[in-house]
């Protein structure tokens, strides 16, 4: 049994025994995931009915017509009281659009064959209900995992629509003066039961479904409005650093989307830094270069996030016009403990200095390391020492106070 209460306010259909879920010949706008109860699929509206399958909790029904846009080839009926999670056409189509074109084509071929086989079966059996061997088996683990991914995806979609994905703000300070320089915005899911959910718990799902693109833009828009509303501490107004997932790099569409948000919010692009990760540079070097140049065209800067982790080739630094290097926390922490790590971090900072890059040291938790980073020419720092990620109102108070640390 699938726990549909976890689905929150998602569309759950509860039907009595005998109720029709959909009928043969109808267009199909929804598929359904069975949460509890059992369902019978019957075909043959022009002759004696043939039972094609009996399905239970954890199984999907009604997907064929949504995928191939043909009328329903069978009727689905509740055998007992059922709970169904409604999966809209948009959600299912979203996955198909992202799928490999060959796989998508194969899926259509398979569905066409299935429909053909079903018609043949109905004609030949002429109403012998036991002929097709209806199954009552529950799905295997693999299938269950796929569906739980689908449920998670639906929940994140809903959270996005309800505004429950909220930008938090972590200060980035000028190490030399200790002054507030800007904020990185980090998404949090304000969940009605689970409290604040961290990005690690939902970004991987959003990445797989492609929803991360909408999440990133939503976070940027809200963060831009919040940082503008916070004004400045009388000195320089803080910059805003946003995270952009690698999945934006399939096209230049993201540039128009960023430009639209810049225009709508009035956020000055000169105060915007866009964080990308090394993975993107490796996976799609040409596209990454085009996106980076287009971000510059908007008047914003580009930061390379988590530098030193992934594939970490210093050669990127001359191949791509990056403005800011964010040195990963593991190097910053390791510097104090391991001479070899310290040597690598020192080399990174020297190279960044020679290339005229700004550098942000990530994950600074104690002040012991700060003078050393300053000596090595590291301009900016970010970490719990200066402030944890905070909601917009706390960010506003911090800006107004003119202080640095939270």
The residue ranges that bind ligand C2E (CB under 6 A) are: 170, 186-187, 198-200, 203, 212, 215-216, 219, 243, 245, 275, 305-306, 329, 363-365, 382-384, 389
Please give the Cα distance from 266 to 260 (Å, whole number): 10
CB of 332 or CB of 399, closer to Mg ion = 332
CB of 362 to Mg ion, least distance (A): 5
Binding partner at 9 among ligand C2E, Mg ion, none, C-beta below 5 to 8 Å by kind: none
CB of 315 to ligand C2E, least distance (A): 22
CB of 32 or CB of 189, closer to ligand C2E = 189
Residue number of the CB closest to ligand C2E reads 383
Q: Which residue among 59, 156, 305, 345 contacts Mg ion (CB under 5 A)?
A: 305
Contacts of 133 (CB under 8 A, 6+ apart): none
CA-wise closest residue to 15 among 76, 72, 89: 76
Contacts of 292 (CB under 8 A, 6+ apart): 276, 302, 320, 321, 322
Binding partner at 41 among Mg ion, ligand C2E, none, C-beta below 5 to 8 Å by kind: none
Binding partner at 345 among Mg ion, ligand C2E, none, C-beta below 5 to 8 Å by kind: none
Q: Are 46 and 124 in contact (CB under 8 A)?
A: no
Contacts of 24 (CB under 8 A, 6+ apart): 42, 43, 45, 71, 72, 73, 74, 75
Q: Does 118 bind Mg ion (CB under 5 A)?
A: no
Give the per-residue contact string, 262-301, with Mg ion (x = CB under 5 A; - = no).
Answer: -------------x--------------------------
Binding partner at 212 among ligand C2E, Mg ion, none, C-beta below 5 to 8 Å by kind: ligand C2E
How many angstroms separate the Cα of 397 from the Cα of each of 169, 230, 253, 267?
Answer: 12, 8, 35, 20
Binding partner at 216 among ligand C2E, Mg ion, none, C-beta below 5 to 8 Å by kind: ligand C2E
Binding partner at 389 among Mg ion, ligand C2E, none, C-beta below 5 to 8 Å by kind: ligand C2E
CB of 60 or CB of 172, closer to Mg ion = 172
Contacts of 167 (CB under 8 A, 6+ apart): 185, 186, 187, 188, 219, 222, 223, 226, 392
Distance of CA 347 to the CA centre of its chain: 34
CB of 115 or CB of 329, closer to ligand C2E = 329
Binding partner at 383 among ligand C2E, Mg ion, none, C-beta below 5 to 8 Å by kind: ligand C2E
> Which span (20-28, 62-70, 170-178, 304-312) binds Mg ion, by CB under 5 A?
304-312
The beta strand positions in 99-192, using DSSP E, are: 165-174, 180-191
Give the per-residue contact string, 215-244, with Mg ion (x = CB under 5 A; - = no).
Answer: ----------------------------x-
Q: Are 196 and 190 in contact (CB under 8 A)?
A: yes
Q: Which residue among 83, 152, 278, 306 contacts Mg ion (CB under 5 A)?
A: 306
CB of 72 or CB of 248, closer to ligand C2E = 248
CB of 249 to ligand C2E, least distance (A): 12
Q: Are 185 and 167 in contact (CB under 8 A)?
A: yes
Residue 213 CB: number of other CB atoms within 10 A? 19
CB of 146 or CB of 405, closer to ligand C2E = 405
Q: Are 389 and 170 in contact (CB under 8 A)?
A: yes
User: ∠22-27-30 over CA atoms, to 5°?
Assistant: 60
CB of 313 to ligand C2E, least distance (A): 19
Residue 283 CB: number of other CB atoms within 10 A? 13
Please give the Cα distance from 355 to 336 (Å, whole number): 25
CB of 78 or CB of 364, closer to ligand C2E = 364
Within 135-154, the residues that bind Mg ion by CB under 5 A are: none
Q: Which residues bind Mg ion (CB under 5 A)?
A: 243, 275, 305-306, 362
């Amino acid at each position: 049994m699938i726990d549909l209460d976890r689905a929150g306010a998602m569309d759950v259909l509860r039907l009595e025994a005998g109720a029709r879920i959909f009928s043969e010949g109808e267009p199909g706008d929804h598929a359904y995931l069975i949460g509890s109860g059992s369902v019978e699929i019957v075909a043959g509206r022009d002759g004696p009915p043939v039972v094609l399958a009996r399905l239970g909790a954890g199984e999907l029904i009604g997907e064929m017509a949504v995928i191939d846009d043909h009328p329903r080839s069978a009727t689905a009926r509740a055998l007992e009281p059922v709970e169904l999670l409604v999966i809209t056409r948009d959600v299912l189509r979203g996955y198909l659009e992202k799928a490999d074109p060959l796989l998508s084509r194969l899926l259509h071929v398979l569905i066409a064959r299935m429909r053909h086989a079903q018609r043949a079966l109905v004609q030949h059996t002429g109403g012998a209900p036991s002929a097709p061997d209806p199954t009552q088996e529950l799905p295997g683990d693999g299938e269950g995992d796929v569906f739980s991914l689908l449920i998670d995806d639906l929940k994140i979609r809903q959270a996005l629509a309800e505004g429950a994905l909220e930008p938090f703000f972590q200060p980035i300070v000028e190490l030399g003066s200790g002054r507030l320089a800007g904020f990185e915005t980090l998404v949090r899911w304000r969940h009605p039961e689970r409290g604040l959910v961290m990005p690690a718990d939902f970004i991987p799902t959003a990445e797989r479904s492609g929803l991360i693109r909408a999440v990133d833009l939503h976070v940027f828009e809200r963060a831009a409005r919040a940082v503008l509303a916070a004004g400045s501490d009388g000195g320089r107004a803080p910059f805003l650093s946003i995270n952009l997932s690698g999945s934006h790099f399939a096209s230049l569409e993201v540039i128009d989307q960023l430009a639209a948000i810049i225009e709508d919010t009035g956020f000055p692009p000169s105060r915007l830094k866009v964080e990308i990760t090394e993975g993107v540079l490796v996976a799609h070097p040409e596209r990454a270069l085009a996106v980076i140049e287009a971000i510059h065209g908007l008047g914003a800067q580009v930061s390379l996030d988590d530098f030193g982790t992934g594939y970490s080739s210093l050669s990127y630094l001359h191949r791509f016009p990056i403005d800011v290097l964010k040195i990963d926390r593991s190097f910053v922490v390791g510097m104090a403990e391991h001479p070899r790590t310290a040597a690598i971090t020192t080399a990174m900072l020297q190279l960044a200095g020679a290339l005229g890059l700004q550098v942000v040291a990530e994950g600074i938790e104690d002040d012991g390391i700060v003078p050393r980073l300053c000596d090595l020419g590291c301009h900016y720092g970010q970490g719990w020492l200066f402030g944890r990620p905070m909601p917009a109102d706390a960010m506003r108070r911090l800006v107004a106070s003119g202080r640095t640390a939270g």
